[in-house]
Structure 1
Amino acid sequence: MFDLVRNGSGGRATVSLDGDTDRTGLRDKRVLVTGGTRGLGEQIVRLLSAEGVRVGTCARTARGLETLAASVGPALFTRRLDVTAPGELEGFVEDAAELFGGLDGVVACTGGSRGGGFEEADAEDWAATWAVNVGHATRLVRAAVPHLRAAGGGSVVVISSISGWKPGPPAQYSVAKSAQIQLAASLARELGPDGIRVNAVSPGSMLIPGRRWDRMRREEPEAFARFVAAELPGGAPVAPQEVARVVAFLLSDWSSGISGAHLPVDRAQNAPSPDGY
């Protein structure tokens, strides 16, 4: 039951869930986030941890995990692994569920692309791009389902991309990201009877230090300005923190009525690249 509670005169309105005041509907949840040491994944981990969530995350490099754990705190559960390696992701899910006493949510955030344009990318590039996006998300959810079901339900968030629903190269990446959107919609129908919600989030071109758009802003300021003027009505790329807040909402009790949705978080961006449509 949701009851509106106001904290004093002019104070912030909060929501009471069965008598417990929780500003976000996240406190004490148990959530796993893949790819949590950089960019969007890092911001999701930091936000959830700050809101009282027990968080586990994985990445390919030990150094990134150590740096993250040192700043987030000892409660963060980390594991160095390759999400495409057989059994490693599944082992991470099982060990985290045992440590946390169950799971309430998972976020499939790891992603990427291999190979160049259509004529340069070979079959192995297509397979690798599929595996790190669709394959990893599918395996993460499959491993988590028994634990989410045992908890009475939970929330799954699949991180897709603006490239998954607006055309832009490289094709192997766009196709994989499009499949993730369909995966979330299909699983929402199949897992709904178990109380498991599944949604997809599609970030626009995010401004992440050291990554493509940040480099373009610093190294090619005129080209970056043209890109913003042509494709970004909001006047700037979306920040990863803005996307992280949407992901946190979908993991929370506040979003209990949302499943099978595809939520773009892109400031009304047009094309996903400076090439336009």
Structure 2
Amino acid sequence: MDLNLHNKVVLVTGGTKGIGRAIAEAFVHEGARVYVTARGEESLNEMDHKEGITAIQADLTKEDARNDVMNEILTKEERIDILINNVGGSNGSTVAETELSLFREAFELNYFSAVHFSKLALDEMKKQQGGAIVNISSIFGRESGGKPTYNSAKAAMISFTKALADEAIKDGIRVNGVAPGSILHPTGNWQKRLDENPEKINAFVEQEIPAGRFGTVEEVANAVLFLASDKASWVVGATLNVDGGQSNANF
């Protein structure tokens, strides 16, 4: 299926490994011009040598860094067509044992980076009267399961996705989200846990994931590409679970 993404200018935050990398590579396969961000220099250098990808080093917990990233893209391209807010991570432990500063840190990375980039992209997309934003949250943004700092930030992202979507669609800009479940990839936490205790993790998969296996980064990327494309023209404000049935939420 031709998704009509050829020559689209795309920004994927946290785009050098795992889900972000799969999304970036999928857009390149469709002929898009892709920019990725990350903090790690080694992974950035690797991605920067891939055809169709430009890598930008940035600490996206910093407001100035986010401004610089968008300015660099607009200087080179004079537009942005698609924004994928993917950067994220978890910290802390229980609510009682987690310092308030770690909640702030989690929100800065997972939530405020997405809000800020969305506002920056919105200004440009309004000029074009078109564009797409896809926010990568988590099924744990709808229910417990991950660390409280992460859950809270992803829950806020899901709410933000709907609020922005209803506001932006009048300018031809579609905003949606994807909520992955447990995804296995070489640099992820699930792979680490599987290596450390395969019996425990295999039991988790059997008990908690109806599909009977972990998801793949490519399966998440496929959903993202669809939502970013004109094929999803009537999908506005949705956050789609991509989880093999893992989520217990029925909405």
* 3-state DSSP of counterpart to 1:87: helix
Asked if 1 retains the 8 angstrom alpha-carbon contact of 2:35 and 2:54, the reply is yes
How do 1:2-151 residues align onto structure 2 when only pairs under 5 Å count?
14=1, 23-70=2-49, 72-73=50-51, 75-151=52-128
Q: Given the alignment of the two structures, is residue 245 of structure 1 paired with residue 222 of structure 2, yes or no? A: yes
Kindly report structure 1 stretches of 4+ aligned residues shifted beyond 4 Å. none
Deviation at 1:270, TM superposition (A): 4.0
Alpha-carbon distance in 2 for matches of 1:182, 1:260 = 9
CA RMSD of aligned residues (A): 1.4
**Structure 1 equivalent of residue 165 of structure 2:** 188
Deviation at 1:76?
A: 1.9
- With structure 1 as the length reference, what TM-score do the two structures score? 0.86
How far, CA to CA, are the matches of 1:57 and 1:235 in structure 2? Answer: 32
Change (3 A) 1:168 1:65: same
Aligned to 1:262: 239
User: Which has the higher mean CA deviation after the structures are superposed, 203-212 or 152-161?
Assistant: 203-212
The Cα of 1:32 is off from its aligned counterpart by 0.5
Among 196, 200, 203, the alignment partner of 2:180 is: 203
- SS state of the match for residue 191, structure 2? helix
User: Contact between 1:168 and 1:271, CA under 8 Å: does it hold in 2?
Assistant: no
The whole-number CA distance in structure 2 between the counterparts of 1:169 and 1:59 is: 23
Q: Is the 8 A contact 2:181 2:247 kept in 1?
A: no
As a proportion of its length, which structure holds more helix? 2
Compute the displacement of 1:271 (Å). 6.3
In the TM superposition, what is the alpha-carbon distance from 1:62 to its structure 2 partner? Answer: 1.8
Task: State the structure with more CA Rg.
Answer: 1
- Distance of 2:29 and 2:86 partners within structure 1: 19
Q: Which amino acid aligns with 2:76?
A: L
- The alpha carbon displacement at 1:217 in A equals 2.2
Shifted more, 215-224 versus 40-49: the winner is: 215-224
- How far did 1:114 drift? 2.1
Rounded to whole Å, the distance in 1 between the matches of 2:245 and 2:106 is 26
Q: Mapping of 1:144-159 within 5 angstroms? A: 144-159=121-136
Give a deviation string over 1:8-67, Cα, whole Å, max 9, x none.
xxxxxx5xxxxxxxx122111111110000100000011101110011111102211111
Gapped regions of structure 1 (runs ≥ 5): 1-13, 15-22, 273-277
Name the counterpart of 1:19.
none
Query: Unaligned regions of 5+ residues in structure 2, if any?
Result: none
